[in-house]
């Protein structure tokens, strides 16, 4: 999996973004497939990438062999419907 280096990040390594009113278009997240993940309380995630492209939220480093996030694989089920 390749990754992009965004020119906007080259000078400082970060950007300041404006607030986004997520209530304006719930279609952006309503149709995604969510996974229950007991990280702290009752949390639900909709993974777009995982270590091997599976619908799971485990850390990339917590696999055998460990992987970096740059070596992640898109989770097709969510990527196809994500904006």
Question: What was the pLDDT predicted at 39?
Answer: 67
Question: What was the pLDDT predicted at 40?
Answer: 66
In a domain, 1, yes or no: no
In a domain, 17, yes or no: no
Question: What was the pLDDT predicted at 1?
Answer: 52
Total count of domains within the chain = 1
Closest CA to 80 of 45, 52, 53, 59: 53
pLDDT, one tens digit for every residue, the chain (83 residues): 577 888 999 999 999 988 877 677 787 788 899 998 776 667 788 999 999 999 998 888 898 888 888 889 999 999 998 87
Task: Give the domain extent around 83.
Answer: 32-83
Which helix (H) or strand (E) element contains residue 35?
Answer: strand 35-37
In a domain, 83, yes or no: yes
| pTM greater than 0.85 (yes/no) | no
Please report the DSSP string for 37-76 in residue order.
E-SSSSEEE--SEESSS-S----TTSSSS---GGG-EE-H
Burial annotation 41-70 (CB, 10 A radius, 16+ → b, else e): eeeebbbeebbebeeebeebeeeeeebeee
């Amino acid at each position: 999996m390749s990754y992009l280096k965004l020119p906007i990040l080259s000078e400082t390594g970060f950007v300041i973004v404006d607030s986004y009113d997520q209530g304006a278009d719930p279609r952006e997240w309503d149709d995604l497939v969510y996974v229950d993940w007991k990280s702290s309380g009752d949390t639900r995630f909709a993974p777009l990438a995982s270590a091997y492209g599976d619908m799971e939220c485990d850390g990339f480093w917590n696999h055998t062999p460990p992987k970096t996030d740059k070596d992640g694989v898109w989770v097709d089920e969510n990527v196809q419907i994500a904006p």
